Amino acid sequence: QSALTQPASVSGSPGQSITISCTGTSSDVGFYNYVSWYQQHPGKAPKLLIYDVSNRPSGVSTRFSGSKSDNTASLTISGLQAGDEADYYCTSYTSSSTLVVFGGGTKLTVL
Amino acid sequence: QVQLQQSGPGLVKPSQTLSLTCVISGDSVSSNSAAWHWIRQSPSRGLEWLGRTYYRSKWYNDYAVSVKSRITINPDTSKNQFSLQLNSVTPEDTAVYSCARGHHHAFDIWGQGTLVTVSS
């Protein structure tokens, strides 16, 4: 059981927007502004999409955006494209004895 | 362009030691702004952070509680690389192991991943 809770799957049609939630606790998501999001295609390494809740690394599309409210972080993908079909993971630093915790992942299907 | 290249065996026997190496190009293991992590991924456990090493005037290590008694992560400045050793492995340690650079509290560069199977 992962420390951060994500929906197992979400879906949307091309051009639509979707949001993936990531729920933690006051020891991780609610405590630090150190939430990051990753995209992983099958057989590939994860790719960083968002760091520090809402910052995009250079080269990442502006269609990806992040936010946080209390103990829940969110990733929004706008203008869905077929290539967005992948697994998405959130992470957060935590004040527990393990530095970093992950979400269980969300499979995005583009209909 | 920063790249991480992993190497190491894909099959380890139970009770033995899993050893992997991650060679860094385009950055330094002694960087004062980065940390060097090991992460694993399996269907049963999902993504799991294992530990990190980093340099801030001296070397530091942090390890996940779940593996703390069995893990060692070492930097090698002469070869600009870092390594993972996980002792006393069991089939539950079967996973894809990845090295990653930590920057801005995230993992911005990943190695290619190594499937390590623990089996006799």
Q: What is the mean pLDDT of residues B15-22?
A: 98
Cβ distance B108 to A48 less than 8 Å, yes or no, reads yes
Q: A1 pLDDT band (50/70/90 cuts)?
A: low
Alpha carbon of B56 to those of A52, B29, B61: distances in Å? 21, 11, 11
**DSSP notation for A34-48:** -EEEEEE-TTS--EE
DSSP, collapsed to helix, strand or coil, labels residue A82 as helix
Q: What is the mean pLDDT of residues A42-67?
A: 96
Considering only alpha carbons, which residue of chain A is nearest residue B110?
A45
- Which of B46, B65, B108 is opposite residue A97, by nearest beta carbon? B65
Tokens 């080269």 correspond to A59
The two structure tokens encoding residue A54: 């809402």
Residue A19 has pLDDT above 70, yes or no: yes
Mean pLDDT along residues A83-94: 96
Say if A51 is an interface residue toward chain B (CB within 8 Å).
yes
| B45/chain A closest Cα distance in angstroms | 7
Determine the residue of chain A that is closest to B67 in CA distance.
A98
pLDDT at position A74: 98
Distance of alpha carbon A57 from alpha carbon A48, whole angstroms: 7
Position A88: which residue type? Y
Adjacent-strand bridge partners of A26: none
pLDDT band at B20 (very low <50, low <70, confident <90, very high): very high
Residue B104 pLDDT exceeds 90: no
| A62 min Cα distance to partner chain B (Å) | 17
Is the Cβ of A102 closer than 8 Å to some Cβ of chain B?
Answer: yes
Contact (Cβ atoms closer than 8 angstroms) between residue A101 and residue B49: yes
Burial category of A67 from C-beta neighbours within 10 Å (exposed 0-12, middle 13-18, buried 19 and up): middle
Tell me the pLDDT band of A3, cut-offs 50, 70 and 90: confident
pLDDT at A51 over 80: yes
Q: How far is CA A98 from CA A81, B41, B50, B51, in A?
A: 36, 16, 9, 9
Segment A91-108 shows an average pLDDT of: 92
